[in-house]
Amino acid sequence: MLNTFVVYVENKPGVLTRVASLFRRRAFNIDSLTVGRTEKPEVSRMTIVVDADRDQALRVEANLYKLVNVLFVENITAKPSISRDLAMIKVSATHEARSHVLELANVFRARVVDVAPESLTIEITGGEEKIDGLLEVLRPYGVLEMVRTGIVAMRRGTKSDETAVPATSGAGVATVASDDNVSYSV
Amino acid sequence: MIKTGAQILWECLEQQGVTTVFGYPGGAILPAYDALKYSKIHHVLVRHEQGATHMADGYARASGRVGVAVATSGPGATNMVTGIATAMLDSSPIVCITGQVGSKLIGSDAFQETDITGVTLPITKHNYLVTHADQVARTISEAFYVASSGRPGPVLVDITKDAQQSSCEFDGKPIKPQLPGYRPDLSPTPDEYKQALELIHSAKRPVILAGHGIILSGAMQEVRQFAERNNIPVGLTLLGLGAFPASHPLSLGMMGMHGEAWLNQTIQEADLLIALGMRFDDRVTGNLKTYAPNAKKIHVEIDRAEINKNVKVDVALVGDLKAVLRELLPKVKSQDRHDWLSYIDRLKGDVAVRDIQNLPDNGHLYAAHVINDLWRETLGSNTIIVTDVGQHQMWEAQYFKHEEPRTLITSGGLGTMGFALPAAIGVKAARPEAEVWAIVGDGGFQMTMCEMATMMQENLKVNIAIINNGYLGMVRQWQEFFYDRNYEATPLLSPNFVKLADAFGIRAVAVAQRSEVVPTVGMARKHRGPVLIDFQVEQEDSVYPMVAAGAALHEMIRRPNPLEETAADV
């Protein structure tokens, strides 16, 4: 199953390589990885989606903590959270198809960001399923090009201020992550 | 005071207590070597940078202090890779310092440029690229802290030439490491302690699996008290040998692929495994599906990422072993366990008959006899054995009985041939008062034998015992057992080791009779300088018992009946 990790790392050169190298070396499967700045200039934040069972997910977390530049790791899979993916989809839209495509984009609350004689480029933000849904209905018209950012995720409610490594190991005390508990929002 | 990066480097190393470094100069590290004239640190010139890393590793394992290796950029740095990986897999604290081309040249494929931080990323605990003099002090402070704390390991510090040459203000005050994400000081929860105690007290057939972590944590006394109070027998991993006295009534010897048959059987029949500072390596477990099928498992381990990696455990106590056992000990009840211990004694008696020690002397020289004789001769003196990798390493583990920690130095996890001689030189540099023996095979010795020159230049006495069987013996054994005796690429033509040693100025003798073993060992011990002994042993002997790769731990290939074997030999 897919696990979503929020990882705070020191904003230093080479840290992304260290994280990516860890996943390759331990043969963990990355579904998506995004990295960007946070409210603190010295800290970067990654959202990493990994295909892993419960034990593997615990080992991903433990191995991330072994990296000296990793500050805090949280598996938010089973916690109330918001996750967003952004996609730009260039779809073939000739004169006859154009209004249909626009209508579909509207239904999905997507925006048209570029119009060309033979194509439209649509920007959509949302959970992965929503984007997958739009893609599916656009495919018959001809998807010419697509780019997705990968998931960025955040817990709901007040910020978890626990950005220090926990002093107790917590090994084995896993909150069982199940798909039912994941909160999706559109 | 204004100082160059090179000067700051040596001053910071002195602050860390470094007295000896092992290295090899070259272009990109020359500014550092030039500044060595201001330092009291002794530099050992090696013959190959791999040797420098093994020496630093041996130094660290023998002393418990951080070992330091120095090399230049490019080939100097890449030659260190094997030694770094060796230290990584055996949790040995070393700091490797490499020169790097000038920071302006990085990425230009300049002469002797290698991205060594990239190369060593997966085989170091952490590494650094230093491009300014003002980063040197902080980096060295962090490197030593990371290398020696938590689960120890190698740290590489790559310093550009301009960082060594440029200057900055340096007040000489020690800098505290600032590593907000690095927390080596985890400890278990009270609930986890409680669960562990319940398992220990309800177990009928428990066994302790004692690993390297005991030595690294300095928890020998605590482990002994724990085992004695609850009468739990103790099996050791290869790197754990010495963590629990071999002569102790509760000691069951080494476990695993070439471990004692009774111990492997004990583990398979146990109802509780208490793993202390070990990581369930495949050489220890055999087939995981059939490993200790009826046992609950408690894992005391400092590295959280080891929990449930190979073997799923019931209770994990993550933390420093010594601290964990100190917390646990007062609550451990005394238990008798008479039935279980006498059952294990019966297992011991049944299998001891096949022991090579019980073979009658038939004129052949067996490696096991050589090693056992060496053990008897050096008994009670302050002796450290450093082995290479292969058959002789396993015979050492079986027939040399280690009572004290840090008396066996060997490459376990990576299995690095060529480790012994350079590591032994590092051991002798760290512990000059100890009697140091390098036990090597004829194969592995030839990988790093150039370091005999280093040993002589440093005037260090390391005795070298070559277990010479004319084969890459362990590979030959696998070919015998699993590849239909197709001895492809394993017969080995070696130089005349006696003449070779002579060229290095080392006294040397060849021994082919068992009766000569003890007198020759005695001569080597008395001689002022190092002595090399070429033990020409039985060529096609194998290490028994053996758990084949992928087999269950109790399915061991046993030494053929000694009586039949003797008859065949006569």
Mean pLDDT for B149-154 is 97
B14 contact partners, CB below 8 Å, separation of at least 6:
B39, B40, B41
Bridge partners for B20 per DSSP: B42
- Angle formed by the axes of helices B517-526 and B367-378, nearest 10°: 50
Residues 9..68 of A with a Cβ closer than 8 Å to B: which?
A: 9-10, 13-14, 17-18, 21, 25, 55, 58-59, 62-63, 65-68
Q: Are residues A71 and A18 in the same domain?
A: yes
Where residue A180 falls among pLDDT bands split at 50, 70, 90? very low
Mean pLDDT for B284-302 is 97
Annotated active-site residue B417? The verdict is no
Which value, to the nearest 10 degrees, does the dihedral of the CA atoms of residues B144, B145, B150, B152 take? 0
Helix, strand or coil, per DSSP, at residue A185: coil
Can you give the pLDDT at residue A177?
Answer: 34
Which of B150, B147, B182, B152 has its CA nearest to residue B90? B152
Q: Tell me whether residue A69 is in a domain.
A: yes
Instruction: State how far the alpha carbon of A76 is from the alpha carbons of A124, B481, B516, in Å.
Output: 23, 51, 69
Can you give the pLDDT at residue B564?
Answer: 54
Q: Hey, are the CB atoms on B185 and A62 less than 8 Å from each other?
A: no
10 Å CB burial of residue B513 (0-12, 13-18, 19+) is: exposed
Q: Hey, are the CB atoms on A14 and B312 less than 8 Å from each other?
A: no
Q: Is the pLDDT of residue B184 over 80?
A: yes
Q: Tell me whether residue A155 is in a domain.
A: no
Going across the sheet that includes B383-387, the strands are B408-409, B383-387, B435-441, B462-468, B531-536, B507-511
CB-closest option in A69, A71, A171 to B307: A171
Helix, strand or coil, per DSSP, at residue B205: coil
Å from B303 to nearest chain A CA? 8
Q: Are residues A69 and A95 in the same domain?
A: no
Tokens found for residue A22: 């860890």
Annotated active-site residue B80? The verdict is no
Q: Are residues A30 and A90 in the same domain?
A: no
- Angle formed by the axes of helices B473-482 and B391-399, nearest 10°: 100
Annotated active-site residue B49? The verdict is yes
Q: Tell me whether residue A181 is in a domain.
A: no
CA-based end-to-end distance of chain B: 79
Tokens found for residue A172: 């084995």
Q: Are residues A6 and A58 in the same domain?
A: yes
Å from A72 to nearest chain B CA? 7
Q: Tell me whether residue A179 is in a domain.
A: no
Å from A177 to nearest chain B CA? 17
CATH superfamily of B190-350: TPP-binding domain (3.40.50.1220)
Residues 146..165 of B with a Cβ closer than 8 Å to A: which?
A: 146
Annotated active-site residue B176? The verdict is no
Share of chain B above pLDDT 70, in %: 97
Q: Are residues A61 and A93 in the same domain?
A: no
Buried b (16+ CB within 10 A) or exposed e, B111-144: ebbbebbebbbebbbbbbbbbebbbbbbbbbbbb
Where residue B561 falls among pLDDT bands split at 50, 70, 90? low
Q: Are residues A54 and A89 in the same domain?
A: no
How many domains does the structure of chain A reveal? 2
Annotated active-site residue B348? The verdict is no
3-state helix, strand, coil in chain A (%, to 5): 30, 40, 35
Q: Where does B2-169 sit in CATH, by number?
A: 3.40.50.970
Q: Tell me whether residue A169 is in a domain.
A: no
Can you give the pLDDT at residue B560?
Answer: 80
- Residue from B112, B165, B225, B536 carrying the catalytic annotation: B112
pLDDT, tens only, B199-230: 999 999 999 999 999 999 999 999 999 999 99
| Domain span at A101 | 83-148
Closest-CA residue in chain B for A72?
Answer: B181
CA-based end-to-end distance of chain A: 21
Can you give the pLDDT at residue A172?
Answer: 41
Tokens found for residue B447: 């990988």
What phi, psi does B289 have (nearest 5°)?
A: -65, -30
Bridge partners for B272 per DSSP: B206, B296
pLDDT, tens only, B489-501: 999 999 999 999 9
Dist CA B205 CA B266 (whole Å): 9
Bridge partners for B385 per DSSP: B408, B437
Q: What value does the mean pLDDT of chain B take?
A: 95
Mean pLDDT for B233-248 is 98
CATH number at residue A8: 3.30.70.260
Name the DSSP class of B491.
B
Can you give the pLDDT at residue A183?
Answer: 33
Q: Tell me whether residue A14 is in a domain.
A: yes
Angle at B108 between CA B103 and CA B111, to 5 degrees: 85
Q: Are residues A130 and A114 in the same domain?
A: yes
Q: Tell me whether residue A176 is in a domain.
A: no
Buried b (16+ CB within 10 A) or exposed e, B525-539: beeeebbbbbbbbee
Decide if B2-169 and B190-350 have a common fold. Answer: yes
What phi, psi does A69 have (nearest 5°)?
A: -85, 0
CA B327 to chain centroid = 28
pLDDT, tens only, B383-413: 999 999 999 999 999 999 999 999 999 999 9
Q: Hey, are the CB atoms on A62 and B307 less than 8 Å from each other?
A: yes
Of A35, A53, A79, the one marking the end of a domain is A79
Can you give the pLDDT at residue B362?
Answer: 75
Dist CA B464 CA B471 (whole Å): 18
10 Å CB burial of residue B403 (0-12, 13-18, 19+) is: middle
Strands B383-387 and B408-409: parallel
Q: Which CATH class is domain B355-543?
A: alpha beta
CATH number at residue A120: 3.30.70.1150
Mean pLDDT for B282-305 is 96
- Where are the extended beta strands (E) located within chain A? 2-10, 29-37, 43-51, 70-75, 81-92, 111-116, 119-126, 143-148, 152-155
CB-closest option in A18, A66, A165 to B121: A18
Cβ-based contacts of A58 with chain B (< 8 Å): 307-308
Q: Are residues A74 and A103 in the same domain?
A: no
Can you give the pLDDT at residue B364?
Answer: 85
Angle at A81 between CA A78 and CA A84, to 5 degrees: 120
Q: Hunting for tokens 């048209």 — which residue is that?
A: A112
- Residue from B16, B22, B49, B556 carrying the catalytic annotation: B49
pLDDT, tens only, A23-71: 999 999 999 999 999 999 999 999 999 999 998 999 999 999 999 999 9
Å from B189 to nearest chain A CA? 6
Domain extents in chain B = 2-169, 190-350, 355-543
Mean pLDDT for A159-185 is 42
List, in sequence order, the alpha helices (H) in B379-516: 391-399, 420-430, 442-448, 451-457, 473-482, 497-503
Q: Are residues A41 and A97 in the same domain?
A: no
Q: Are residues A52 and A19 in the same domain?
A: yes
Instruction: Give the number of other CB atoms < 10 A from CB of residue B342.
Output: 9
Residue to mutate among B304, B311, B317, B321, with most A CBs inside 10 A, is: B304
Mean pLDDT for B27-47 is 98
Can you give the pLDDT at residue B324?
Answer: 98
Q: What value does the mean pLDDT of chain A take?
A: 86
Tokens found for residue B486: 């197709």
Can you give the pLDDT at residue B363?
Answer: 78
Q: Are B86 and B411 in contact (CB under 8 A)?
A: yes
Q: Are residues A106 and A139 in the same domain?
A: yes
Dist CA B219 CA B232 (whole Å): 16
Cβ-based contacts of B305 with chain A (< 8 Å): 59, 62-63, 65-66
Where residue B350 falls among pLDDT bands split at 50, 70, 90? confident
Instruction: Give the number of other CB atoms < 10 A from CB of residue B461.
Output: 16
Instruction: Provide ipTM, 2 decimals.
Output: 0.90
10 Å CB burial of residue B161 (0-12, 13-18, 19+) is: buried
Q: Are residues A53 and A107 in the same domain?
A: no
Q: Are B525 and B517 in contact (CB under 8 A)?
A: no
Residue to mutate among A17, A71, A168, with most B CBs inside 10 A, is: A168
Is B178 an 8 Å CB contact of chain A? Answer: no
Of A79, A102, A134, the one marking the end of a domain is A79
CB-closest option in B185, B305, B313 to A66: B305
Where residue B559 falls among pLDDT bands split at 50, 70, 90? confident
pLDDT, tens only, B91-135: 999 999 999 999 999 999 999 999 999 999 999 999 999 999 999
Is A155 an 8 Å CB contact of chain B? Answer: no
Q: Hey, are the CB atoms on A172 and B179 less than 8 Å from each other?
A: no
Of A54, A79, A104, the one marking the end of a domain is A79
CB-closest option in A18, A71, A169 to B304: A169
